[in-house]
Amino acid sequence: MTLTARADLLATNTSTTGWSTCERQREPGIEDVVWAAIMENDDLGRAWGPSEGVMRVRQAILTGWNDQVASQLTVPTLIIRGEVDTGLGGIQDVADLYRLVNNDNKLRFTVQCGGHFMNWETNRWILHQISKEWIKHGRVGGFDEGEFRVDTQGNITREPTP
């Protein structure tokens, strides 16, 4: 388990997610909202450590998303990654893994100014919209295959084929 104090979480998010990279990437005050939600959902963590508590997170093992696993995937696959996300640790290049997926129904989106915690960022609506379309229709923007970039306005453009 990893224990993280509020100040450490905010410092880590700024350095590993690109939160300082793009203008208006986060909404003012989101850090307070996120921390309050974390503490509200963890009775034990909020009572530990400094006066504001600690965030408790299970240790992640990031060895499951690799060449071998990607090449064995036969189910429809959607990958959404933030452009400035550097928080994936040991996971290799997501574009390379996407190309190994053994399925014609696969999509990969790179979201401009998106970080590792895109669900906390101003462009979270893009993450939600892409996910919603995929779940409801198995397609996004009329596509069921390909690699795309999404700008901060939600405009989708196809990546050139490598």
Write out 59-86 in H/E/C secondary structure: CCCCCCCCHHHHHHCCCCEEEEEECCCC
pTM: 0.80
Q: Are 88 and 96 in contact (CB under 8 A)?
A: no
pLDDT surpasses 70 at 71 = yes
Q: Among 47-51, 81-85, 91-95, 96-100, name the one with the lowest average pLDDT.
A: 91-95
- Residue 117's pLDDT is 80
Q: Which residues pair with 106 in a beta bridge?
A: 77, 145
At 161, is the pLDDT very low, low, confident or very high (cuts 50, 70, 90)? confident
Higher pLDDT, 40 or 9: 40
